[in-house]
């Protein structure tokens, strides 16, 4: 829901500040998160995971360059505890109900936990961009994966 955008921005910005697992480098405002990942015209699905009323993770699928792309963000310190898997189950149900047949993920090649997560939930490699670089020029590469619903 739109009112979740502040909690979602807090999680995303904590992940950005930690570094190393997202291609996002600049913190996002609540408005940017709401428009880009919750209620904007390209958003297909947005789910959150809460603990005691606080958002600890979120997952959004939005159309990007003609394909449904997924992003998953979990509060640092809470990863690898089932949050991502639970959100993905709900994401898949929503997308299937809306007629979506596949999802694309672009993962930084140096994001070992992210690569493990997407492999564990069934994404398969479909390509790579070894020259993908951050704004400082550092090449980190990117792996492209697909999940068929």
pLDDT in tens, 96-121: 999 999 999 999 999 998 999 999 99
Average pLDDT over residues 64-79: 90
Banded pLDDT at 148 (limits 50, 70, 90): very high
Domain map of the chain by residue range?
2-148
Give residue for tokens 């699905």. 45
pLDDT in tens, 30-58: 999 999 999 999 999 999 999 889 999 99
Q: Is the pLDDT of residue 61 over 70?
A: yes
User: How far apart, in whole angstroms, are the C-alpha atoms of residue 146 and residue 119?
Assistant: 10
Q: What is the CATH number of domain 2-148?
A: 3.40.630.30
Q: Is the pLDDT of residue 69 over 70?
A: yes
In the prediction, which pLDDT does 39 show?
94
- Residue-averaged pLDDT of the chain: 93
In the prediction, which pLDDT does 50 show?
93
In the prediction, which pLDDT does 30 show?
97
In the prediction, which pLDDT does 83 show?
84
Q: Is the pLDDT of residue 147 over 80?
A: yes
Q: Is the pLDDT of residue 81 over 70?
A: no
């Amino acid at each position: 829901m739109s009112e979740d955008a502040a909690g979602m921005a807090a999680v995303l910005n904590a992940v950005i500040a930690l570094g190393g697992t997202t291609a996002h480098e600049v913190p996002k405002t609540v408005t940017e998160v709401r428009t880009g990942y919750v209620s904007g015209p390209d958003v297909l699905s947005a789910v959150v995971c809460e603990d005691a009323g606080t958002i600890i993770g979120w997952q959004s699928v939005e159309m990007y360059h003609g394909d449904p792309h997924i992003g998953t963000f979990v509060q640092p310190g809470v990863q690898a505890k089932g949050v991502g898997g639970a959100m993905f189950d709900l994401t898949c149900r929503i997308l299937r109900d809306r007629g979506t047949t596949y999802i694309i993920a672009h993962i930084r090649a140096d994001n070992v936990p992210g690569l493990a997560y997407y492999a564990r939930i069934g994404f398969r490699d479909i390509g790579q961009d070894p020259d993908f670089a951050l704004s400082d020029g550092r090449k980190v590469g990117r792996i492209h994966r697909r999940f068929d619903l």
